[in-house]
Structure 1
Amino acid sequence: MKRFSIRGLLAGARRSRHAVVAAKAAASSVPALVALLLFAAAATFSLFSLGSFHSPGAAAGDGGDVAAAACDAARGRGEWVRDAGAAPYYTNATCGFIQEYQNCMKHARPSLEFLRWRWRPGGAGGEGCEPLGRFDAARFFRLVRGKSMLFVGDSLASSHVTSLMCALSQVEAPARSRDAAAGFEHWRFPAHGFAVAYFWTPFQVRWRLTRGPPEAVGPERQGEVFAGPSDLHLDEPDERWTSAAMAHDYVVLSASHWFRRPAVYYQHGHVVGCHDCGDSNITAILKPEHAQRAAFRTVLGAMARLDGFNGTAILRTVAPTHYENGGWFDGGECTATRPVDETEDGAPEMAATEAEFYRAQVEEFTAAARRGNGAQARLRLMDVTRMMLLRPDGHPDRHGHGGGEHDGFEIDCLHWCLPGAIDAWNDLLLQMIGSSST
């Protein structure tokens, strides 16, 4: 698998290195004629500058000055700076919501150095910018009183919810409930008039297990979905969560990694291709990045024009994996002990498919925001890709479980320790909500 460096992306030039496989998924190399016909606007995959896209917080016409734009945390530019006195917002002793696979403190991670870093936004080196303000739960509650937030996505979206719930629970313990039939998990903070919902979906568009029940399955059957294949209706948003979105003031969207998995793709109710689906009757092969682009185009377009939704839709970009010397289940590891310093370590690299996922998210977001100009829904971009690419030290590696508890998946370089690096996503979320409230 090719991997792209951030420096290479910025320069618009491809480079390759030794294959580092994040998931064992075969992809056929037949000509992508069908993909070109179905996704004409997505068919060209020349690389792009990560700095060439504006976050909604600094969109054209906002009137912000150049200095303010350069320090816009949502743009994804900046560096991690060490804060020796930093303390986590919570620990596994003060928050009971942390799941085993991300509980690095419980499972004896040898050093807590990964908790001593803060994100400083800005251009190269972040000159002139202050580190991102620390999450203030009391201020967050003041800003969201009387409101609600929906998170939609996969296990990384679940980790984001858990991180936020742990941080907020230091002020008020939430009431937690599940609606298994509808697929939602709910968290309520009655003293502060705030509610959070989480809907698990690896694809966001309408989908089901190809050899499963007619409806989509829930997170308890992730293993079956991982084995696949799944049927993905790329032009149909999943109404189970889009209909619920109208009742929320904020909707945080994410998910990309599952598009690597085997799938059969549909448009207008008809099969248009597949990826690693094992069906000899389907001759059109579509790459995962084509499918992911089409799905995000559908979902973002739906949110931009969703009748009855007067809130803000936030797209959080892909968080890269950091497997080295192998991949899932075959010896891959992530043993880094500090963030990447580009001035010392050189430009980090991102798997080629993840780079294309990121490209598609940003381009489709930009297109949806442009098409939705004047729509009631407000689209915002939370660009975390580069900041997380610089954190190979933030994953559980071997410290996200007890010995032998993961059925062979012993090393995790996809998910993130909690507390940990992704707590900065809540710093970003607070800044975005605060800026939209002023």
Structure 2
Amino acid sequence: MQDYSVTLAYYLSHYLVDIANKKAGRILKLDAMDEGRKWLGADVLVFGSWRWWGRRSWDYIQDGNTLVEDMDRTQAFTKGLQTWSRWIDAHLVQTSTKVFFQGFSPSHLKGEEWGAPWGKTCMGETRPLNNTAAYHSQPNPQDAIVRRVLAGMAKPVYLLDITFMSQLRKDGHTTKYNGDSLGTDCTHWCVAGVPDTWNILFYAALTSQSLHM
């Protein structure tokens, strides 16, 4: 039996690209990934992004020689993801490192997304949506950006596409079980539950990829 045991490390990088602490403040550098050196030598790398791009954790954004206080977040995300893809291709294309990118972890707050009356939320939902054709929400536009960037890379990157599956789990968020009366925590998920499925899919992809190492 083949041994797939690995040593795991978690590195927090909300935006993939660097945030530098300068005299002027925290600068999100869309064209820099100096922190990426910490990832070199890994057998497996799993990336994910977009969730935090809606939150401003910087004072300025730097794009080349241009410094601005803020910009369209999807545009900034695209530039950052392109920087990440160039870094991966420059440093890992000749290595055996397996690279994965986890899809977007969606919310499921609006009941009209699954055909419920307007104003209905996921509070009180105890079952997933079984009829996939009944899901009415539009795809997240950032998902298409991720797919386009990955398709243009020299280094093969495996997309862990968990978004649509998770959108159907209107019953699976933590708020229902943690006593939060506001009921708005729809981007974190209960364990045991949806993350277990993510992990099963990742393990299947990882072991399948390992057979070809």
TM-score, normalization: structure 2? 0.80
Residues 357-402 of structure 1 show CA distances to partners (whole Å, capped at 9, x for unaligned) of: 211111111112xxx1xxxx542111111111111211112423x5
Which secondary structure state, in structure 1, belongs to the residue aligned with residue 101 of structure 2? strand
CA shift, 1:410, in A, is: 6.0
Gaps of 5+ in 2: 112-118
Task: Tell me the residue number matched to 1:73.
Answer: none
- Gap change, CA 1:387 and 1:143, over 3 Å in 2: farther
State whether structure 2 residue 131 is matched by structure 1 residue 342: yes
Residues 35-93 of structure 1 show CA distances to partners (whole Å, capped at 9, x for unaligned) of: xxxxxxxxxxxxxxxxxxxxxxxxxxxxxxxxxxxxxxxxxxxxxxxxxxxxxxxxxxx
The answer to whether the Cα contact below 8 Å between 1:289 and 1:357 also exists between their aligned partners in 2 is yes
Task: Tell me the residue number matched to 1:267.
Answer: 63
Structure 2 Cα separation of the partners of residues 384 and 274 of structure 1:
33
Which secondary structure state, in structure 2, belongs to the residue aligned with residue 305 of structure 1? helix
The answer to whether the Cα contact below 8 Å between 2:50 and 2:77 also exists between their aligned partners in 1 is yes
| Coordinate RMSD, CA, aligned | 2.9
The answer to whether the Cα contact below 8 Å between 2:98 and 2:157 also exists between their aligned partners in 1 is yes
Task: Tell me the residue number matched to 1:244.
Answer: 38
- Gap change, CA 1:144 and 1:214, over 3 Å in 2: farther
Residues 5-62 of structure 1 show CA distances to partners (whole Å, capped at 9, x for unaligned) of: xxxxxxxxxxxxxxxxxxxxxxxxxxxxxxxxxxxxxxxxxxxxxxxxxxxxxxxxxx
Structure 2 Cα separation of the partners of residues 386 and 230 of structure 1:
34
State whether structure 2 residue 213 is matched by structure 1 residue 428: no
CA shift, 1:316, in A, is: 0.7
Task: Tell me the residue number matched to 2:146.
Answer: 361
Q: Residues 211-250 of structure 1 correspond to what in structure 2 (within 5 A)?
A: 213-214=21-22, 231-237=27-33, 239-240=34-35, 242-250=36-44
State whether structure 2 residue 165 is matched by structure 1 residue 379: no
Residues 106-138 of structure 1 show CA distances to partners (whole Å, capped at 9, x for unaligned) of: xxxxxxxxxxxxxxxxxxxxxxxxxxxxxxxxx
Structure 2 Cα separation of the partners of residues 391 and 197 of structure 1:
28
Task: Tell me the residue number matched to 1:416.
Answer: 189
The answer to whether the Cα contact below 8 Å between 2:135 and 2:168 also exists between their aligned partners in 1 is no
Which secondary structure state, in structure 1, belongs to the residue aligned with residue 147 of structure 2? helix
Gaps of 5+ in 1: 1-138, 146-193, 216-228, 276-285, 326-330
Q: Residues 172-183 of structure 1 correspond to what in structure 2 (within 5 A)?
A: none
1:290 paired residue among 75, 96, 104: 75
Q: Residues 191-210 of structure 1 correspond to what in structure 2 (within 5 A)?
A: 194-208=6-20
The alignment of Structure 1 onto Structure 2 pairs a total of residues equal to 199
| Larger Rg over CA atoms | 1
Structure 2 Cα separation of the partners of residues 332 and 202 of structure 1:
31
Task: Tell me the residue number matched to 2:107.
Answer: 321
Residues 328-359 of structure 1 show CA distances to partners (whole Å, capped at 9, x for unaligned) of: xxx9952222222336x712315x7xx12211
Q: Residues 142-181 of structure 1 correspond to what in structure 2 (within 5 A)?
A: 142-145=2-5
CA shift, 1:418, in A, is: 1.1
Structure 2 Cα separation of the partners of residues 232 and 433 of structure 1:
32
TM-score, normalization: structure 1? 0.41
> RCO (CA 8 Å, sep 6+): is it higher in 1 or 2?
1
